Amino acid sequence: MKIKDGYMIQEIARQIALRGARAFYAGGFVRDQLLNVSDHDSKDIDIEVFLLEPGVLRDILSNFGEVKEVGKSYPVFKISGYPHFDFTVAPPGSSYEKAALRRDFTVNAMMIDVISGDLIDPCQGVKDLHLRTIRHTQPRVFIDDPLRVYRAVQLAARLNFSISPETQKLMAETALTNIDPERILLEIAKMLLRAEHPSIGLRYLEQTGVLERNHPELYCLKACIQSPTHHPEGDVWEHTLLVVDQAARLRKKSRDPQTLMWAALLHDIGKPGVTRQEGEKVTAYGHDTQGAELARRFLRNLRASRSLTDRVTVLVREHMRPVLLYKEREKLSDKAIRKLVERVNVAELLLLSEADYCGRTLKRDYAPIRTWLLERIARLGLDPESGINPLVQGRDLLALGFEPGPALGDVLKEAYEMQLEGKSKEEILKDLKKPLEQT
Residues of the chain with pLDDT > 70, as a percent, come to: 97
pTM: 0.89
The Cα angle at residue 362 between residues 358 and 364, in degrees rounded to 5: 50
Quote the pLDDT of residue 302: 97
Q: Are 293 and 217 in contact (CB under 8 A)?
A: no
- β-bridge partners, 78: 68
Quote the pLDDT of residue 418: 83
Averaged pLDDT for residues 283-312 = 97
Quote the pLDDT of residue 216: 97
Per-residue pLDDT at 134 exceeds 60: yes
CATH class of 133-312: mainly alpha
CB atoms within 10 A of CB 228: 11
Quote the pLDDT of residue 437: 67
Per-residue pLDDT at 139 exceeds 90: yes
- Show Cβ contacts of residue 137 under 8 Å, excluding neighbours closer than 6 positions: 100, 101, 102, 103, 104, 105, 106, 109, 123
Quote the pLDDT of residue 40: 46
Q: Please give the sequence-ordered ranges of beta strands (E in DSSP) within 261-379, or none if there are none.
A: 276-278, 281-283
Averaged pLDDT for residues 263-275 = 97
Which of 12-16, 79-83, 223-227 is the most confident on average? 12-16
Q: Are 189 and 263 in contact (CB under 8 A)?
A: no
Q: Which of the pair, 132 or 431, is modelled with greater confidence?
A: 132
pLDDT class for 38, splitting at 50, 70, 90? low
pLDDT class for 42, splitting at 50, 70, 90? very low
pLDDT class for 177, splitting at 50, 70, 90? confident
Quote the pLDDT of residue 80: 92
Q: Are 156 and 201 in contact (CB under 8 A)?
A: yes
Averaged pLDDT for residues 9-37 = 94
Quote the pLDDT of residue 220: 97
Cα–Cα distance, 371 to 330 (Å, whole number): 15
Segments of the chain assigned to CATH 3.30.460.10:
3-125
Quote the pLDDT of residue 189: 98
Cα–Cα distance, 174 to 194 (Å, whole number): 25
Averaged pLDDT for residues 251-257 = 97
Cα–Cα distance, 16 to 112 (Å, whole number): 15
Segments of the chain assigned to CATH 1.10.3090.10:
133-312
CB atoms within 10 A of CB 71: 11
3 state SS of 162: strand
Per-residue pLDDT at 278 exceeds 60: yes
Question: 3-125 domain in CATH 3.30.460.10?
Answer: yes
Cα–Cα distance, 431 to 215 (Å, whole number): 53
Q: Are 323 and 353 in contact (CB under 8 A)?
A: yes
Q: Please give the sequence-ordered ranges of beta strands (E in DSSP) within 311-351, or none if there are none.
A: none
Averaged pLDDT for residues 200-223 = 97
pLDDT digits (tens, 9 = 90+) for 319-371: 999 999 999 999 999 999 999 999 999 999 999 999 999 999 889 999 999 99
Averaged pLDDT for residues 240-262 = 98
- What DSSP state is assigned to residue 387? -
pLDDT digits (tens, 9 = 90+) for 318-330: 999 999 999 999 9
pLDDT class for 41, splitting at 50, 70, 90? very low
3 state SS of 181: helix
pLDDT digits (tens, 9 = 90+) for 45-60: 999 999 999 999 999 9
CB atoms within 10 A of CB 120: 20
Q: Are 97 and 107 in contact (CB under 8 A)?
A: no
Q: Are 354 and 370 in contact (CB under 8 A)?
A: yes
Pairing label, strands 45-50, 67-70 = unpaired
Average pLDDT, the chain: 92
